[in-house]
Structure 1
Amino acid sequence: MKQKPLLISLLISLGTGVIAGFLTFTSMEQYQEMYRPPLSPPGWVFPVVWLLLYALMGIAAYRIYMKDPKAKALKLYLIQLAINFLWPIFFFNFGWQLFAAVWLLLLWYLVFVMIKEFAKIDEGAAKLMIPYLIWLTFAAYLNIAIALHR
């Protein structure tokens, strides 16, 4: 294990989440006030889950980087990370819940394709991304329900 590439990979993924969280710091207050469909978790669950998911993303990207630093899969990873970064801004800051739902479906598709690309290089890295895809599926349910309720 090479510590510097792992640290950089974790800083990229976790840093993306921290910056998005900073830019949407009132999001949990907004979440408490909006319609929440059945199965909606309490607000404290989101930062805990996202911390874990960003850590898994960073580890998975590190594994891919160590096997193929120029992999197409890493470009997909960075693209989906940028799409991920923008979602809470669209949803919370701009209040564009319907647009955010469509954006989230785009993110889901990119992550699905990225997992397939990761699997070609490192099956373990691909498996580390599966909880992320599951969470995005759940987030899409929440986002669509909220958007349609408006």
Structure 2
Amino acid sequence: MVAVVALVAALAATSATEVYGRLAQPSWAAPPSLFGPVWTVLYLVIAIAGWVYWRTDGETQGFAAYGIGLLLNLLWTPLFFAGGSSRLALVDLILLDFTVVMTIGLFYRRSKLGALLLVPYFFWLCYATALNVAIVALNDVR
């Protein structure tokens, strides 16, 4: 499931460098070359967290939150890059932030390791959310 999300994100991001480069960005924006490696590691860690949780016979609520989070993650790249709507992408990202926090809490009940593995993902999402907010503020975007 995580591999599908990563594949769709990669396909939707074919114009990412061009789109990202055209946008006014804050001084603290990461270079485009950083995103691919970071997301590769994060997708691997997200998959491991799901597997660790699954091995504990995790509760349905935890799996539901995890799945909703993957769906929201899947939507962001096409919304931002292919769809050209950084405002809708921001709404999606804020929902994803809350979903990941909920997932961490639900995972923690059964698997502290599964929950802790999602913490770097959450911190990266916080950075991505701040960056998305700055891009919306600095650009005349939809």
Same fold (TM over 0.5): yes
Q: TM-score, normalised by structure 1?
A: 0.88
Q: Counterpart of 1:44 in 2: which secondary structure? A: helix
Q: Distance between the aligned counterparts of 1:114 and 1:35, measured in 2?
A: 33
Match of 1:93 in 2: 82
1:91·1:100 contact (CA, 8 Å) conserved in 2?
A: yes
State the percentage of identical aligned residues: 29
Structure 1 alignment gaps of length 5 or more: 1-11
Q: Distance between the aligned counterparts of 1:56 and 1:14, measured in 2?
A: 12
Match of 1:148 in 2: 137
Match of 2:3 in 1: 14
Match of 1:113 in 2: 102
Please say if 1:53 is aligned against 2:42.
yes
Match of 1:26 in 2: 15
1:63·1:122 contact (CA, 8 Å) conserved in 2?
A: yes
Please say if 1:103 is aligned against 2:53.
no
Superposition misfits of 4+ residues, deviation over 2 angstroms? none
Q: Counterpart of 1:41 in 2: which secondary structure? A: coil
Match of 2:125 in 1: 136
Higher relative CO (Cα under 8 Å, sequence separation at least 6) belongs to 2
Q: Distance between the aligned counterparts of 1:94 and 1:135, measured in 2?
A: 22
1:29 Cα offset (Å): 1.6
Structure 2 alignment gaps of length 5 or more: none
2:73·2:96 contact (CA, 8 Å) conserved in 1?
A: yes
1:13·1:58 contact (CA, 8 Å) conserved in 2?
A: yes
Q: Distance between the aligned counterparts of 2:35 and 2:125, measured in 1?
A: 12
1:65·1:71 contact (CA, 8 Å) conserved in 2?
A: no
**Root mean square deviation of aligned Cα:** 1.2
Aligned residues: 139
Q: Counterpart of 2:32 in 1: which secondary structure? A: coil
Q: Distance between the aligned counterparts of 1:28 and 1:66, measured in 2?
A: 38
